[in-house]
Amino acid sequence: MSIVRTPSAAEEARGRTGRKPSAGKRAERRLAWLLCAPAALVMVAVTGYPIAYSVWLSLQRYDLRFPAQREFVGLQNYVIVLSNQYWWQAFWVTVGLTVVTVAVELVLGMALAMIMHRALVGRGLVRTVTLVPYGIVTVVAAFSWRFAWSPNTGYLAETFAQGEAPLTDRFASLAIIALAEVWKTTPFMALLLMAGLALVPDELLRAAAMDGANAWQRFTKVMIPVMKPAILVALLFRTLDAFRIFDNIFVLTGGAQGTSSVSILTYNNLIRGLNLGIGATMSVLIFLAVAVIAFVFIKVFGTAAPGSDREGRR
Partner 1 sequence: MAVIGGAETPARKAKWALLDVVVVVYALVPVLWIVSLSFKTKGTITDGNFVPREWTLDNYQEIFTTTEFVRALVNSIGIALIATLIAVVLGTMAAYAVARLDFPGKRALIGVSLLIAMFPQVSLVSPLFDIERALGLFDTWPGLILPYITFALPLAIYTLSAFFREIPWELEKAAKMDGATPAQAFLKVIAPLAAPGVFTTAILVFIFAWNDFLFAISLTSTERARTVPAALSFFTGASQFEDPTGTISAAAVVITIPIIVFVLFFQRRIVAGLTSGAVKG
9 versus 79: smaller Cβ distance to partner 1: 9
Q: From the list 225, 287, 292, 299, which residue makes contact with partner 1 (rule: CB under 8 A)?
A: 287
3 state SS of 258: coil
Looking only at residues 153 through 182 of this chain, which bind partner 1 when binding is defined by CB under 8 A?
153-155, 157-158
Q: From the list 21, 74, 212, 307, which residue makes contact with partner 1 (rule: CB under 8 A)?
A: 307
Q: From the list 95, 144, 256, 258, which residue makes contact with partner 1 (rule: CB under 8 A)?
A: 144
Is residue 152 near partner 1 by the rule CB under 8 A?
A: yes
Stretch that binds partner 1, among 66-74, 84-92, 167-175, 198-206 (CB under 8 A): 198-206
Is residue 238 near partner 1 by the rule CB under 8 A?
A: no
CA angle centred on 104, ends 102 and 107, rounded to 5°: 110
Q: From the list 31, 79, 103, 292, which residue makes contact with partner 1 (rule: CB under 8 A)?
A: 31
Rounded (10°) CA dihedral 106, 110, 111, 113: 130
Q: State the Cα–Cα distance between residues 310 and 236, nearest whole angstrom.
A: 18
272 close to 278: Cβ distance less than 8 angstroms? no
Is residue 39 near partner 1 by the rule CB under 8 A?
A: yes
Q: Pick from 247, 238, 239: which is nearest to 267 by CA?
A: 247
Q: From the list 79, 271, 292, 296, which residue makes contact with partner 1 (rule: CB under 8 A)?
A: 271
The set of residues, in sequence order, having a beta carbon less than 8 Å from that of 99 and lying 6+ positions away, is none
Is residue 15 near partner 1 by the rule CB under 8 A?
A: yes
310 close to 8: Cβ distance less than 8 angstroms? yes
Is residue 240 near partner 1 by the rule CB under 8 A?
A: yes
3 state SS of 72: strand
Is residue 255 near partner 1 by the rule CB under 8 A?
A: no
CA angle centred on 210, ends 208 and 216, rounded to 5°: 45
Write down the least CB distance from residue 187 to partner 1, Å: 8
Looking only at residues 51 through 80 of this chain, which bind partner 1 when binding is defined by CB under 8 A?
51, 53-54, 57
Write down the least CB distance from residue 232 to partner 1, Å: 8
Q: State the Cα–Cα distance between residues 238 and 310, nearest whole angstrom.
A: 22
Looking only at residues 213 through 232 of this chain, which bind partner 1 when binding is defined by CB under 8 A?
215-216, 218-219, 229-230
Looking only at residues 103 through 132 of this chain, which bind partner 1 when binding is defined by CB under 8 A?
112, 114-115, 118-122, 124-132
Is residue 47 near partner 1 by the rule CB under 8 A?
A: yes
Burial class (CB in 10 A: 0-12, 13-18, 19+), 180: buried
Q: State the distance between the two ends of the chain, measured CA to CA, in whole angstroms.
A: 24
